[in-house]
């Protein structure tokens, strides 16, 4: 009698969710954002609108000095998202916030798996050398590819452990 094994829906759902996360992260790859202006976006937009620092301060219920501090902090990269959102609102702008991967998520994962495989092989090769059991380059390459595949297949947190 042939008994069907139950489908592990937890893994299937988890893999589907991971694929969706990867697709979302990879969707931002094509977006090239402009470099922030030297004096920051807030001051640049404010000046482009012909708005004085005092006028922006009045709109936010802050002092002119506080606006200067916020503009300086923004240019230095030391302003909070909440502060930027409030400033953007008064400048009739939308605040956009994004982390854009430098390359596709799959490549980042493969690069990390390669690092781990190399470290693992180096450690094992040293032990094997000490025991006079070293393997040739071709076998090392096959072994490294297998280690990479295993690491990628296991996925998740194993990729980001400290080794």
Q: Tell me if 79 is assigned to some domain.
A: yes
Q: Which structural domain, as residue segments, surrounds residue 49?
A: 41-91
Q: Tell me if 69 is assigned to some domain.
A: yes
What confidence tens digit (pLDDT) does each residue in 99-150 have? 899 999 999 999 999 999 988 887 666 555 545 566 778 888 898 899 999 9
Cα dihedral sign, 125-129-134-137: positive
Mean pLDDT of 67-88: 97
pTM listed for this prediction: 0.69
Please say if the pLDDT value at position 3 is more than 70.
Answer: no
**Number of domains composing the chain:** 2
Quick one: 57 and 83 in the same domain? yes
72 pLDDT tier (thresholds 50, 70, 90):
very high
Average pLDDT, the chain: 87
Query: What is the C-alpha to C-alpha distance for residues 144 and 124, in angstroms, rounded to an integer?
Result: 11
What confidence tens digit (pLDDT) does each residue in 7-20 have? 566 678 888 998 99
DSSP letter assigned to residue 36: P
**41: nearest Cα among 14, 81, 1:** 81
Query: What is the C-alpha to C-alpha distance for residues 19 and 13, in angstroms, rounded to an integer?
Result: 10
91, 116, 132 - which closes a domain? 91
């Amino acid at each position: 009698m042939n008994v069907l094994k139950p489908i592990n829906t937890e893994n299937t759902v988890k893999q589907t969710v991971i694929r969706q996360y990867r697709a979302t992260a990879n969707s931002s790859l094509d977006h090239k954002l402009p470099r922030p202006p030297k004096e920051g976006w807030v001051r640049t937009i404010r000046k482009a609108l012909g708005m004085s620092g005092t006028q922006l301060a009045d709109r936010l219920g802050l002092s002119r000095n506080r606006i200067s501090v916020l503009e300086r902090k923004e240019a230095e990269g030391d302003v909070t998202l909440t502060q930027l959102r409030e400033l953007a609102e008064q400048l009739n702008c939308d605040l956009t916030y994004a982390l854009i991967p430098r390359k596709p998520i799959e490549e980042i994962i493969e690069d990390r798996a390669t690092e781990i495989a190399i470290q693992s092989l180096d450690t094992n090769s040293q032990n094997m050398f000490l025991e006079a059991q070293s393997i040739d380059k071709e076998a090392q390459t096959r072994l490294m590819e297998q280690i990479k595949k295993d690491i990628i297949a296991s996925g998740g947190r194993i990729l980001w452990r400290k080794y």
